[in-house]
Amino acid sequence: MKKIFMFDALKEATDEEMSRDSRVFIIGEDVGHYGGSYKVTKGLHAKYGDLRILDTPIAENSFTGMAIGSAITGLRPIVEGMNMSFLLLAFNQISNNVGMLRYTSGGNFTIPMVIRGPGGVGRQLGAEHSQRLEAYFQPIPGLKIVACSTPYNAKGLLKAAIRDNNPVIFFEHVLLYNLQQNIPEDEYILPLDKAEIVREGKDITILTYSRMRHHVVQAVNVLVEKGYDPEIIDLISLKPLDIVTIGQSIRKTHHVIIVEECMQTAGIGAELIAQINEQFFDYLDSPVKRLSSQDIPTPYNGSLERATVIQPNQIIEEVEKMLQVLHFL
């Protein structure tokens, strides 16, 4: 085992896959000589050169389209968005080409590409750099969507995404790059479509992903001291949702809270509630509760910014409220 930062885990995954497969290359803004805005590609340009680490102009629609064309011809591009918010400028390419070309070509083309980069609410990055685009991309047919949350799953999931023959949108949280964790020195790959049971419990199922996993863990540490026994599930796969793992937990706990950094309106939590009610309604002893970010542009002011995002104390309060009757029986 070795202790590693998340940005280094992502770099290791990229480096290993580029060494393994000469078709893999990286394209994006400042990915080459500069080493990436968050150093995920640091040192790779010196190793692989201009033809496999391509610095681009600030033209997301154009270089995403170029990556799609290269995937059609047999290469395996990794598109880095300097900030995932900027990929709204490539939304046409992602929605009309990345997800659909395999199907509209009758299976003649595959699009084995990864679109990855930092997103989420950082620390005073302002509204335009604090967007959460997972719900924007979720309804697009043909995409897989993954949100990593630890150095361990970041490396294993990115390696799997690079090898996958389908397009994968790979979300990294801007505040998790400096998270450290021990990971295996030997190679490992994790499935793209499986949730992770972070903690087993019997009282309530807490569904979460990305940075909110860590807020939930903080809250659950307090809840356990108070005598509660929550189960934590890190969704990891946002499309497709691992509804099998979610359902097994609901059959056991009969209560569900969703904790997300996504907006509440039409967010990931909204889709989760719809699927849970459709498939597991009879197992619920109370309505599903979602704790989501407020439906406003993220303020620049630090205190206001924190107020828009769910904090551990809010999770504790909602769990206690939902389980109050159960706890005293």
Which residues are known catalytic residues? 60, 129
Classify 315 in phi/psi space as left (phi over 0), alpha (psi -120 to 50) or beta. Answer: alpha
Residue with tokens 């389209």: 65
Closest CA to 269 of 257, 280, 279, 278: 257
Strand intervals (E) in 179-245: 180-183, 196-199, 204-208, 230-234, 237-239
Determine the Cα–Cα distance for residues 61 and 118; give it in Å rounded to an integer: 18
Determine the Cα–Cα distance for residues 145 and 138; give it in Å rounded to an integer: 7
DSSP per-residue string spanning 236-266 = -EEES--HHHHHHHHHHH--EEEEEEEESTT
Residue 244 CB: number of other CB atoms within 10 A? Answer: 11
Determine the Cα–Cα distance for residues 197 and 47; give it in Å rounded to an integer: 38
- The CA radius of gyration of the chain, in Å to the nearest whole number, is 20
